[in-house]
Amino acid sequence: MFRTFIYLVIILISSQERLIGQENSIYIKAGLLYDSKENKLLKNKLIHVQDTKIRSVGAFESLPKNSQVVDLTEYTVLPGLIDAHTHVLFSQEASEDFSAHSIQSLTMESDALRVLRGSKRAKSYLAQGITSIKDLGNSGLYLDVALRNAINEGTIEGPRIFASGPILAAHGGQIYDVLPEHQNIIDLEYRIITSPEDAKNAVREHVNQHVDLIKICADNLPNNTFLTTDELKAIVETAHSYHLKVTAHCVTNQSAWNAVEAGVDGIEHGFNLADSTLIKMAEKHIYLVPTENSRDYMNTYVKLAGYNVNDREWIGSYLDKMKSRLNRAINRGVPIVAGSDNYTDIQVSRGASSTDMFRSYFEAGMNPLDILQSSTYISAFHLNKENEIGYIHPQANADIIAVKGDIINDFISTIENVEFIMKDGKIYENTSD
C-alpha cells in the first residue's frame, strides 16, 4: 500500500510539473523578426519561449496544437533594447549646476531615498522596450549594484542592470570647485586614484563588490586633473585579469588616445576624437558610445535651462560637430554602441528620455537597422553577453519586444511605438490583442 501511495505521488508531481511547464510555454508569431547578429529582417518566424529562455526560433508550421500563442504577425519583433550609458541614481534640472547638485545630493539625500528614486527611473526603461542598461557611476558607493541585485531577485521591476560602481578618477573626480578641506565629499561618489598601485587596489575593491565592468574618467573636465598613462594601464591590466571590461569617459582627444593606448575596451562620449584616434580604435576593435542628442531634445533642454533665444545659435554647430564625429567613426569601422547619458530632467520619464538616442543617431544619418544593431547585438557583444541578450536565438534570455509600423521607412515613429514587452519570459505589456 505504501509503495502504491508513493508511486501515485510521483505520478501526481510529474503531471503537475508538465502542467507548469505548459503554462510557462509561450509561442510568439512574428510577422517580421529582426536578426540582430546578421542585421536583417526575417519574415514569419515562430519563437518558442519556455520560462525565462528562448527555446527555439522556427517557422509558423512548427506551432504545436493547443499552444499559448501571442500573435505578432502584424508587428516587427526585436530583441529587448539596450541603453549602454545611463545614470539611474542621478538626476538634475536643466538649470542646475552639475557640481553643486552633486554635492547637495551627497550631503542632503539619503542612500535609501536615492535608491527609491532610482528604482522608479529604472522601471521607466521597461515601458520603452529597453530591457537592459549599462549604468556608469554617479551612483554613490555601489548603490547601482544594490539596485541591480534588487531587480535580479524580483524585489522591484526594472531592466537588467550592468553596474560599474563608483567611477575611477583622478583627484577631484568630475565635481569641481570643492575646497581642499571638503574633498572627502567626492569620495562618496568617485574612487579617487592616487598611483598605479592604488589603481590596482581600486579595481580589486570593485571586484569584491561584484561590479559588472569598470568605468574610468580618462579626463576630469572641467577639473584639470587626469589619470596618468601608468594608472590607466594598471586599471586595464588588473580589470582584464578578473575578466572585467573597462570603458573610459573621454572629452579630449588626448585622454582618449591615452585610454586607447592603455587598452581600454570602450570610449564613452569622445566628443573631440581625431581621425588618428578613431583609426586606432578601429584597429583594436574598441567601441564608441556616442552620447548624442536630437535637435528636439536640445531645444527642450535650452528652454528649460533658461537660455535666451539669441543664446541658442550654438545648437546647430554642436549638432553638426557630433554628426561629423559619428560618421567619421562609422566610416573608419569603429563599432558603435548606443547610449543616451540622459540624466537631465526634461519633464518626461527617464526611459522616454533615453529613446532620444535613436532619434539623434537617425538625424545624424545612421541607417535604421544599424541603429538597432548598435542597441542590441553590438552592445551585448561588447558586454560579452551576446549569447544572453540583444539577439533572439535559442538559449538566450527571453527579452523580446514588438513595434508597430515600418521600421525601415518610418523608423522614429515605429521605434517609439512599442506595443509588446517581455523580459525574462514575463510579459510587461501587450497591446497587440
Q: What is the pLDDT of residues 259-283, one digit of tens each?
A: 999 999 999 999 999 999 999 999 9
Tell me: do 286 and 143 sit in the same domain: yes
Q: What is the pLDDT of residues 177-219, one digit of tens each?
A: 999 999 999 999 999 999 999 999 999 999 999 999 999 999 9
In the predicted structure, residue 3 carries a pLDDT above the cut 60: no
Tell me: do 97 and 59 sit in the same domain: no
Give me the mean pLDDT over the 76-82 stretch.
98
Q: What is the pLDDT of residues 104-147, one digit of tens each?
A: 999 999 999 999 999 999 999 999 999 999 999 999 999 999 99
Tell me: do 58 and 108 sit in the same domain: no
Q: How far apart are CA 84 and CA 93, in angstroms?
A: 22
243 conformational bin, left if phi > 0, alpha if psi -120 to 50, beta if neither: left
Tell me: do 268 and 349 sit in the same domain: yes
170 is a domain residue: yes
Say how many C-beta atoms besides its own lie within 10 A of residue 56's C-beta.
Answer: 14
Q: How far apart are CA 304 and CA 298, in angstroms?
A: 10
Cell numbers at 243, concatenated? 575578466
In the predicted structure, residue 353 carries a pLDDT above the cut 80: yes
pLDDT of residue 433: 65
Tell me: do 258 and 218 sit in the same domain: yes
Percent of the chain's residues with pLDDT above 70: 94
Q: How far apart are CA 185 and CA 255, in angstroms?
A: 25
Tell me: do 181 and 258 sit in the same domain: yes
Out of 324, 354, 384, pick the residue that ends a domain.
354
pLDDT of residue 178: 94
pLDDT of residue 422: 97
pLDDT band at 431 (very low <50, low <70, confident <90, very high): confident
pLDDT of residue 414: 97
In the predicted structure, residue 162 carries a pLDDT above the cut 50: yes
Tell me: do 72 and 91 sit in the same domain: no
The CA-based angle 382-77-86, given to 5 degrees, is 40
113 is a domain residue: yes
365 is a domain residue: no
147 is a domain residue: yes
Tell me: do 182 and 56 sit in the same domain: no
In sequence order, the 6+-apart residues with CB closer than 8 A to the CB of 306 are: 94, 95
On average, the pLDDT of the chain sits at 93
Give me the mean pLDDT over the 393-400 stretch.
98
Tell me: do 68 and 115 sit in the same domain: no
236 is a domain residue: yes
Q: State which residues form the domain around 344.
A: 81-354
Out of 302, 337, 354, pick the residue that ends a domain.
354
Q: Does a cis peptide bond (omega within 30 degrees of 0) precede residue 394?
A: no
In the predicted structure, residue 288 carries a pLDDT above the cut 60: yes
Do residues 83 and 339 make contact, with C-beta atoms less than 8 angstroms apart? yes
Q: How far apart are CA 190 and CA 216, in angstroms?
A: 10
Q: What is the pLDDT of residues 298-308, one digit of tens each?
A: 999 999 999 88
In the predicted structure, residue 5 carries a pLDDT above the cut 70: no
Tell me: do 204 and 55 sit in the same domain: no
384 is a domain residue: no
In the predicted structure, residue 19 carries a pLDDT above the cut 70: no
pLDDT of residue 18: 40
Say how many C-beta atoms besides its own lie within 10 A of residue 55's C-beta.
Answer: 17
Domain count, the chain: 2
Give me the mean pLDDT over the 362-371 stretch.
97
In the predicted structure, residue 148 carries a pLDDT above the cut 60: yes
Query: What CATH number corresponds to the domain at position 105?
Result: 3.20.20.140
Out of 354, 379, 404, pick the residue that ends a domain.
354
pLDDT of residue 2: 39
Percent of the chain's residues with pLDDT above 90: 89
pLDDT of residue 63: 86
In the predicted structure, residue 49 carries a pLDDT above the cut 80: yes
pLDDT band at 429 (very low <50, low <70, confident <90, very high): confident
pLDDT of residue 62: 80
Tell me: do 258 and 123 sit in the same domain: yes
In the predicted structure, residue 309 carries a pLDDT above the cut 80: no
Question: Whole-model pTM?
Answer: 0.92
Tell me: do 342 and 264 sit in the same domain: yes
In the predicted structure, residue 23 carries a pLDDT above the cut 90: no
Query: What CATH number corresponds to the domain at position 397?
Result: 2.30.40.10
